């Protein structure tokens, strides 16, 4: 046997003893022969990649056909070895798997192509789910070796991983793959946030581990006394999931990190419930936090009992109780599916997973992609569908309907049937009439009232509260494209009106780039989507104008733009010269000089002077965004140079980026005042992903002092970046 294959075979023997090792070795030999002259970006022989992918899959316990396809997955695309030849050598099943993976690789992820790729992925998955399992293992190995790729490629691949591949792994129940993909992509996309969470975790680890040990010993002791055989261990914390919980639960790091997680593995379903009783006998459960996913498994075959109890020292402890078979399925998902088919069939009624129910989500997705003609819309609904938890509600006849967490009666109506959704006018939940935007909880019984009127249709307001991609798509399809065009025109007019009312420079602010940047910030795909949102009343025109003005440095900067593009006038001698600003104008020491607020220059910056109307000479940094426009009037540019005196004071603007937490702002302002900095203005915004961005403008006599200020702010807990910005308004 080839010694290179020994680690792979050792894993295969442990997870899949009946595998055909000869077939796997033959697949390796064919792949190694055809990739013989190829190298990876790292300089390693290319065959190391298929071998690594096969090893990842072997650890998941996949069958030998999947392992052979993993070894051969790049041969058809990258070598002279054809698909027909491969089918002849290895049979139709392995040929189809390789063909499926090749087709997924062929379509490149661009904005438009991305949706089409995912759509093809769904179709390939529906034929044989193992195609996606191989693709996920392929992506995992690529993410592990991502450092050899150029920066823009790393960013693009990491974003795809976080938005599409990790959620797909979650949907297929492959949690080990999902967690590693998330952490690798998180570290690549947001290295500073990742490092800050890693630092906060390592600081608290020793104290937390002692508490964890105490809980494990008590639980193990109680279960031994109750004669329940069990393995009790701590649950690992993944950096990305810690960060996601900070966003989702809107709480500080300490509250999440102090929440201790324990996993209890037992032999049978009966032992699961017995262990739950034993634990609740010692510690009081937290009301509303018990979930029985054994009786009602999740969409991805996941089964467990979840409970939260008030443990030692009054601290909450989260527990998951499951059998060993359930644990294997929870970790490896569909990859473990083949191995546990027989056991699941023979399980007790409470532990049985209905045949085919594991792939119900996939079938629903297929129906969806047939219904949705626009691939972009399909991708958006898929992303949305992948990223949410579910609640289970009942029809009046007792059928279970799964909805996204926070789902409403309107989501339920569309889940039952499109027409029921369109005609929905009211709902009764658990026998009581409720508003259509009410949130449904697990176990609710929902009854929908429909209108008999032929003109009945959905309301545009529903889009504000529906949670499921299906409902969102159906409502959007109802409102035609003509309405969108009307909304775009209305939005454009409203923004123009709001600007004229404030007397702002319309052409400068309505330029394509400024609006496009703002659209992206507000999560709209393009400018027309922003106009449509304004036209439909989703966002006020005034709010858009304020954000536009802020993006170019505030109202003063916008007005300064008007002043600086006006006609030049001769400067009359001013009573004060440029000394206070620390700048002199070449050839005339008695000119009034002011430092521009749009880029706050300080000594050491390269500067240019511009003769304004009635405001003396304004001094800009050479790299200021406004300088490009000023250069169009070269006769008004003057040479200026630094000449700071003892009484010169300079404006400096800094931006602080941190993971949000209580008292963050007071810590930053205290640190700034400790550095003897006089703060003139401050603005703080917290984004949806729990990142607090604070901007401070302050006066400073000696710009060399700035380095010490930045260093002091950077050492504050949670702060992952701090830097000087080009202006008070950003």
| pLDDT tens-digit readout, 70-91 | 888 888 777 777 778 888 888 8
Please tell me which residue in 6, 59, 64, 77 is annotated as part of the active site: 77
What is the pLDDT at residue 105? Answer: 60
How does 400-415 read in b/e, with b if 16+ C-beta sit within 10 Å?
A: ebbbbebbbbbbbbbb
Give residue-wise pLDDT tens across range 454-490. 767 788 788 888 888 778 878 877 765 546 777 888 8
**Angle between helix 191-225 and helix 269-282 axes, rounded to 10 deg:** 90
* Cβ-based neighbour number of residue 374 at 10 Å: 12
| Tokens found for residue 567 | 């006609």
**Angle between helix 191-225 and helix 239-249 axes, rounded to 10 deg:** 90
What is the pLDDT at residue 299? Answer: 64
Question: Helix/strand/coil (H, E, C) string of 661-724?
Answer: CCCHHHHHHHHHHHCCCEEEEEEEEECCCCEEEEEEEEEECCHHHHHHHHHHHHCCCCEEEEEE
Please tell me which residue in 20, 59, 74, 78 is annotated as part of the active site: 78
What is the pLDDT at residue 116? Answer: 57
Q: How far is CA 40 from CA 36, 44, 448, 589, in A?
A: 12, 5, 58, 63
Phi, psi for residue 658 in degrees, rounded to 5? -150, 160
Q: What is the pTM of this model?
A: 0.60
What is the pLDDT at residue 553? Answer: 58
Angle CA 609–614–618, to nearest 5: 20
Q: How far is CA 533 from CA 460, 540, 541, in A?
A: 12, 9, 9
Residues of the chain where predicted confidence (pLDDT) is lower than 70: 1, 103-127, 248-251, 253-259, 299-301, 332-389, 455, 479-483, 503-513, 552-582, 587-590, 614-615, 645-648, 701, 703, 726-730
Residue listed under structure tokens 């302050």: 698
Please confirm, yes or no, whether 209 is among the known catalytic residues. no
- Return d(Cα 28, Cα 69) in angstroms, integer: 10
C-beta of residue 713 within 8 angstroms of C-beta of residue 672: yes
93: closest CA among 133, 66, 120? 66
C-beta of residue 290 within 8 angstroms of C-beta of residue 262: no
Which ranges in 107-238 belong to alpha helices (H)?
111-127, 130-144, 151-160, 166-171, 175-189, 191-225
* Tally of helices (H runs) and strands (E runs) in the chain: 32, 20
3 state SS of 68: helix
Please confirm, yes or no, whether 138 is among the known catalytic residues. no
3 state SS of 651: strand
Q: Is 379 exposed, middle or buried (0-12, 13-18, 19+ CB in 10 A)?
A: buried
């Amino acid at each position: 046997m080839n010694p290179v294959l020994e680690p792979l075979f050792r894993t295969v023997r442990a997870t899949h003893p009946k595998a055909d090792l000869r077939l796997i070795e033959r697949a390796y030999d064919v792949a190694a022969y055809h990739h013989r002259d190829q190298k990876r970006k790292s300089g390693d022989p290319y065959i190391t990649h298929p071998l690594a992918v096969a090893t990842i899959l072997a650890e998941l316990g996949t069958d030998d056909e999947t392992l052979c396809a993993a070894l051969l997955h790049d041969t058809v695309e990258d070598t002279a070895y054809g698909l027909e030849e491969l089918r002849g050598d290895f049979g139709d099943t392995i040929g189809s798997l390789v063909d499926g993976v090749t087709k997924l690789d062929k379509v490149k992820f661009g904005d438009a192509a991305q949706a089409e790729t995912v759509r093809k992925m769904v179709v390939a998955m529906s034929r044989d789910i193992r195609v996606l399992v191989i693709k996920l293992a392929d992506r995992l190995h690529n993410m592990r070796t991502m450092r050899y790729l150029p920066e823009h490629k790393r960013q693009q691949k990491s974003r795809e991983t976080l938005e599409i591949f990790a959620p797909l792994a979650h949907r297929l129940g492959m949690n080990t793959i999902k967690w590693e993909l998330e952490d690798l992509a998180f570290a690549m996309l947001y290295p500073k946030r990742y490092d800050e969470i890693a630092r906060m975790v390592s600081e608290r680890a020793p104290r937390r581990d002692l508490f964890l040990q105490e809980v494990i010993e008590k639980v193990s002791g109680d279960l031994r006394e109750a004669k329940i055989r069990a393995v009790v261990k701590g649950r690992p914390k993944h950096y990305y999931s810690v960060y996601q919980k900070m966003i989702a639960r809107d709480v500080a790091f300490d509250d999440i990190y102090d929440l201790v997680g324990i996993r209890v593995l037992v032999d049978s379903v009966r032992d699961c419930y017995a262990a739950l009783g034993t634990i609740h006998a010692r510690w009081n459960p937290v009301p509303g936090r018990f979930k029985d996913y054994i009786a009602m498994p999740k969409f991805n075959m996941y089964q467990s009992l979840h409970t939260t109890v008030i443990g030692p020292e009054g601290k909450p402890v989260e527990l998951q109780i499951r059998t060993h078979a359930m644990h294997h399925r929870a970790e490896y998902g569909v990859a473990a599916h083949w191995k546990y088919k027989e056991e699941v069939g023979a399980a007790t009624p409470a532990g049985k997973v209905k045949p085919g129910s594991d792939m119900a989500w996939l079938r629903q997705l297929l129906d969806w992609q047939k219904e949705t003609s626009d691939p972009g819309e399909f991708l958006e609904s898929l992303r949305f569908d992948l990223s949410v938890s579910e609640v289970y509600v009942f029809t009046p006849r007792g059928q279970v309907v799964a909805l996204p967490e926070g789902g409403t009666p309107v989501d339920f109506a569309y889940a039952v049937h499109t027409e029921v959704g369109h005609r929905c006018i009211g709902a009764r939940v658990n026998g009581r009439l409720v508003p259509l935007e009410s949130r449904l909880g697990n176990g609710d019984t929902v009854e929908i009232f429909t209108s008999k009127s032929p003109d009945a249709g959905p309301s545009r307001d529903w889009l504000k509260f529906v949670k499921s991609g299906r409902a969102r798509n159906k409502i959007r399809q109802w409102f035609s494209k003509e309405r969108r065009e009307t909304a775009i025109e209305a939005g454009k007019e409203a923004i123009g009106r709001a600007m004229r009312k404030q007397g702002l420079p319309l052409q400068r602010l309505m330029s394509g780039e400024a609006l496009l940047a703002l659209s992206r910030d507000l999560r709209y795909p393009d400018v027309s989507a922003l106009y449509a949102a304004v036209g439909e009343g989703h966002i006020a025109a005034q709010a858009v104008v304020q954000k536009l003005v802020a993006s170019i440095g505030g109202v003063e900067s916008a007005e300064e733009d008007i002043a600086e593009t006006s006609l030049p006038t001769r400067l009359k001698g001013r009573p004060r010269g440029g000394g206070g600003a620390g700048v002199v104008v070449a050839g005339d020491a008695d000119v009034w000089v002011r430092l521009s607020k749009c880029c706050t220059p300080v000594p050491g910056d390269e500067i240019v002077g511009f003769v304004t109307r009635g405001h003396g000479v304004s001094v800009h940094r050479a790299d200021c965004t406004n300088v490009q426009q000023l250069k169009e009037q070269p006769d008004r540019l003057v040479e200026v140079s630094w000449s700071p005196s003892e009484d010169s004071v300079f404006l400096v603007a800094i931006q602080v980026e941190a993971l949000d937490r209580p008292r963050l702002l007071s810590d930053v302002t205290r640190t700034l005042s400790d550095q003897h900095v006089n703060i003139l203005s401050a603005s703080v915004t917290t984004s949806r992903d729990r990142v607090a961005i604070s901007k401070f403008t302050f006066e400073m006599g000696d710009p060399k002092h700035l380095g010490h200020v930045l260093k002091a702010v950077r050492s504050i807990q949670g702060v992952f970046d701090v830097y000087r910005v080009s202006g008070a308004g950003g």
